[in-house]
Amino acid sequence: MCGIVAYIGDKEAYPIIIEGLRRLEYRGYDSSGVSILNGDIHTVKKKGKVQALVDAAEGVNLEGTIGIGHTRWATHGKPDDINAHPHNSGNKRLSLIHNGIIENYSTLKKALIELGHVFHSETDTEVLIHLIEEYQTRNNCDLEEAVRLALKKVVGAYAIVVIDSQDPNTIVGARKSSPLVLGIGENEYFLASDASPIIKYTNKVVYLNDEEIVKISRNGSFTIKTIGNELVKSPTIKELDLKLEELEKDGYDHFMLKEIFQQPTTIAESMRGRINADEGWIQLNGLERYMKRFMNAKRITLVACGTSWHSALIAEYLFEELARIPTDVEYASEFRYRKPIVYSDDIVIALSQSGETADTLAALELAKEKGALTYGIVNVVGSSIARITDSGSYIHAGPEIGVASTKAFTSQLVVLTLMALRLGQEKGNISEGEFRELLQAMEDLPRRVEKILELNDKIKFIASEIQESNHALYLGRGLNFPIALEGALKLKEISYVHAEGYPAAEMKHGPIALIDENMPVIVIATNLSAREKIVSNIQEVKARKGIVIAIVKEGDDIINEMADYTIEIPGTMETLTPLLSVIPLQLLSYHIAVMRECNVDQPRNLAKSVTVE
């Protein structure tokens, strides 16, 4: 997600801000920019890495002791120089940086255009700076009050910092659902998305709370008030004792573990503004625009690689069960070379976290040549797949740094489930009652994921019991078969253990020959529909002295009795099972990899995005 750094004090702001932005690069971004106030506001912003910004700033007068800087993770508007932050007001007096999503930006933008405001970017953020300008001009008020009035109109998440060329001794910041930290130095103040740009200068910080506005004055004072204009008396000043390296991982040992634990939030983010269980609606704009095409489609083909291919396998079950649309799943690398038959009324959906996977891109190009409608479900905004597809839905999981995909996988499943539900609703395959029940269950997913994450220590113990095995089998049925594949992929790619996933029923067609006392068998048995069968599969394994680790729904005493180790997770509706049953497998593979002293975040031979064939 985006990174924010701001400075006011007695030093040159530019070098401090650039170094701070570099400390935030781990958050993932696609463009960056800086505004320094020295008489006027001098702004430089550039697509690409911070170094591209530094190169572009060569020769620009960026002297000054107050400034703001930003690394952008695009949500609205592709990554380019214009959409990069900071964004400046029409009267060139104000400059703003923002981390978050303004959900009602299109309504606000329409109103501001009617008032004569001219926009240059495709971003939601630019609306904010024009709204602040409007209030400041109309009410002739100071920056802090203009920011407060504007934020009262905003729906969404924000961490912002604003500077005003007519008030060079003040910086204003505010936050809601997106972090903002105030650093208190000697005659200097900092604002940043987290403490990593600050810790070099001071360990005294104040973490702003939601709907709080901070006004920093160069004379060495700051005040915090709420959006409701109440003064926050004696804000808590913390003294950090963290090392810089830890901060980038928010205290987690690895990005992968941080991203596993982010899933309650990222699953919620992938649903934000897209479902309302009380009112009973799903809104996926990319899908609505082509609903007719989807209703008339004779076939949906999903193309993907790796973990994204596992998401596609789950989508096949969901699309056929809920939307009753014939659905195929293809490895993108196979699809692109096997001369597939693609009809012009087909729909080809590409799943990709990075949006840059070469095989998936090539498969899409082939589909486009054949006239199919192409739809992209990606994480990285403005990525190649997002740009070449006719339509699509972003999964809003935020940057995924760990090579092993975790939070992107569950966010892909959320979007695919929403699509299947919406298509099923449009086709009339789902009753109103079932539809609302599923939406309720979806809205409750983050809480259930939280409960599973509380099992981390138990899962770590189980990992310690099998971490020396060099082989593992993962078994599942129905929607949990792709989860068996995903669990096996997680283990093999970060711990280098040879692991295979199979439909449990396939055991008797060969794999059961592998079973002996040295073979851990992870059985995902959370779906009721296949429970009796999977119980007998467990018995088959136990009869051959296999070690059974079972993932079951809470209270499943029968399997609990049979298995050597059991991980009991909260139940949910069958359709949503994969979103929960994958979490223990992510943690199991993580702990085994750590115990085997593997490089969890950058496993050998692997890249985060396979942009070559």
Query: Active-site positions?
Result: 2, 608
Give the footprint of ligand AGP on residues 378-417 (CB under 6 A). 403-405
Residues 81-110 that bind ligand AGP (CB under 6 A): none
Q: Considering beta carbons, is residue 108 or 593 the nearer one to ligand AGP? A: 593
Interaction of residue 305 with ligand AGP, rule CB under 6 A: yes
By residue count, the chain amounts to 613
**610 binds ligand AGP per the rule CB under 6 A:** yes
Candidate ranges 25-33, 353-361, 523-531, 554-562; the one touching ligand AGP (CB under 6 A): 353-361
Q: Of the candidates 95, 136, 170, 354, which one interacts with ligand AGP according to CB under 6 A?
A: 354
Q: Which is nearer to ligand AGP, 206 or 351 (CB)?
A: 351
Cβ atoms of 82 and 120 closer than 8 Å: yes
Which parts of 140-199 interact with ligand AGP (CB under 6 A)? none
607 by DSSP, 3-state: which? coil
Query: Do the beta carbons of residue 90 and residue 105 sit within 8 Å?
Result: no
| 32 touches ligand AGP by CB under 6 A | no
Angle between helix 13-23 and helix 50-57 axes, rounded to 10 deg: 160
357 binds ligand AGP (CB under 6 A): yes
CA atoms within 13 A on the CB side of 311: 31
Site for ligand AGP in 526-585 (CB under 6 A): none
Q: What are 47's strand-pairing partners?
A: 31
Position of minimal CB gap to ligand AGP: 306
Residue 336 CB, shortest distance to ligand AGP, in Å, is 14
Q: How far is the CB of 493 from ligand AGP (least distance, A)?
A: 6
Which CB, 9 or 306, lies closer to ligand AGP? 306
Find the binder of ligand AGP among 83, 263, 301, 353 (CB under 6 A). Answer: 353
Minimum distance of ligand AGP from residue 372's CB (angstroms): 19
- The three state secondary structure string of 301-357 is EEEECHHHHHHHHHHHHHHHHHHCCCEEEEEHHHHCCCCCCCCCCCEEEEEECCCCC
Which residue in 225, 348, 254, 354 sits closest to 297, CA to CA?
A: 348
Q: Which of 95, 178, 266, 352 binds ligand AGP (CB under 6 A)?
A: 352
Binding of residue 306 to ligand AGP (CB under 6 A): yes
The CB-of-305 to ligand AGP minimum distance in angstroms stands at 4
**Tokens describing residue 506:** 């396939």
C-beta atoms surrounding 510 within 10 Å: 9
Q: Is 308 in the site for ligand AGP (CB under 6 A)?
A: yes
Look at the alpha carbons of 270, 108, 178, 52 in this order and tell me if their dihedral is positive or negative. Answer: positive
What whole-number distance in Å separates Cα of residue 196 and Cα of residue 193?
A: 8
Amino acid, res. 534: I
Residue span binding ligand AGP (CB under 6 A) among the ranges 55-63, 119-127, 305-313, 454-462: 305-313
Inter-residue long-range contacts of 174-178, CB under 8 Å, 24+ positions, other chains counted: 174/147, 174/148, 174/208, 174/211, 174/212, 174/213, 174/214, 174/227, 175/208, 175/209, 175/210, 175/211, 175/212, 176/100, 176/151, 176/210, 176/211, 176/227, 177/100, 177/210, 178/1, 178/99, 178/100
Distance in Å, CB of 84 to ligand AGP, minimum: 23
Residue selected from 99, 136, 193, 307 as contacting ligand AGP according to rule CB under 6 A: 307
Number of residues that bind ligand AGP (CB under 6 A): 15
Choice from 32, 196, 262, 360 touching ligand AGP (CB under 6 A): 360
- Report the interface residues with ligand AGP, using CB under 6 A: 305-308, 352-354, 357, 360, 403-405, 493, 609-610
